[in-house]
Each structure stands twice: as structure tokens, then as C-alpha cells.
């Protein structure tokens, strides 16, 4: 099973600032990695797939990158609606696995 490690657990950021979230995989997943956003009381929403491709309707302030087993999600200028929990997920191998999540909170 591929272990997904997200960091930090909580990120405190002011509106308008930049946030960078990290996800490390225990082995190569190629680029088969997604990022999801989950707001309180809502289902997860796909933000990014194939490590760096924005899903339909996702604003350009969200970007993803990859280097080996290290992946990152960057939000260039945080808006109020971006304060949420973010999960990475690999879909390269079975079983599918998620990271434990990073909570982005208002500083």
C-alpha cells in the first residue's frame, strides 16, 4: 500500500497570501495524483488531477507540481472560500490511498 504523507497538518495564512501544501508518496505514483478540497459539511471536490492539471472550473490561482515522490499544491492568493481541508490521493496503484489532509485556516 502506498502511504501518502501531507504536510503541514495545519497552515495558517492571511487572505491574499500564498499557500503551499505538500504531499509525499512512499513510492512512485508517476503523475497519478489528485488534490481535493473539502469545505465543512461538504463532499470533497476535485481540484487537480494528473498532479498538475486543473479540474473543470477550478480557478487559475490553484496550481500543482511534482518532483519524483514529492507533490505540491499552491494557492497563489488565498480567497475566503479557499479556507478548507485539502487531501491528496494517488490513483496509480490499488488500494487507492489518501493523505491525512492539510487544513488551511485564516491567520
Partner 1 sequence: QLQLQESGPGLVKPSETLFLTCTVSTGSISSGSYYWGWIRQAPGKGLEWIGTIYYSVTMYTTYYSPSLKNRITISVDRSKNHLSLRLTSVTAAEEAVYYCARQKAVTATSAFDIWGQGIKVTVSS
Contacts of 18 (CB under 8 A, 6+ apart): 74, 75, 76, 77, 78
β-strands 85-90, 62-67 pairing: unpaired
**Which letter does DSSP use for residue 21 in this model?**
E
The residues facing 20 across adjacent strands are 74
What's the closest the beta carbon of residue 3 comes to partner 1, in angstroms? 13
The cell numbers describing 18, all together, are 500564498
**Which letter does DSSP use for residue 76 in this model?**
S
Q: Does 1 bind partner 1 (CB under 8 A)?
A: yes
The cell numbers describing 4, all together, are 501518502
Q: Is residue 45 helix, strand or coil?
A: strand
20 vs 32, which CB is nearer to partner 1?
32
Q: Segment 74-103, which members bind partner 1 (CB under 8 A)?
A: 87, 89, 91-92, 94-101
What's the closest the beta carbon of residue 75 comes to partner 1, in angstroms? 18
Letters for 31-70 (x = contact with partner 1 by CB under 8 A, - = none) are: -x-x-x-x---xxxxx--xx----xx--------------
What's the closest the beta carbon of residue 39 comes to partner 1, in angstroms? 12
- Binding stretches for partner 1 (CB under 8 A): 1, 32, 34, 36, 38, 42-46, 49-50, 55-56, 87, 89, 91-92, 94-101
Amino acid at each position: 500500500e502506498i502511504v501518502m504523507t501531507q504536510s503541514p497538518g495545519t497552515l495558517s495564512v492571511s487572505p491574499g497570501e500564498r499557500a503551499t501544501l505538500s504531499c509525499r508518496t512512499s513510492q512512485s505514483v508517476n503523475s497519478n495524483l489528485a488534490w481535493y478540497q473539502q469545505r465543512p459539511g461538504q463532499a470533497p471536490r476535485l481540484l487537480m488531477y494528473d498532479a498538475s492539471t486543473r479540474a473543470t472550473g477550478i480557478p487559475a490561482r490553484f496550481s500543482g507540481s511534482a518532483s519524483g515522490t514529492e507533490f505540491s499544491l499552491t494557492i497563489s492568493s488565498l480567497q475566503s472560500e479557499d479556507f478548507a481541508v485539502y487531501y491528496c490521493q494517488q490513483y496509480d496503484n490499488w488500494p487507492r490511498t489518501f493523505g491525512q489532509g492539510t487544513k488551511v485556516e485564516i491567520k
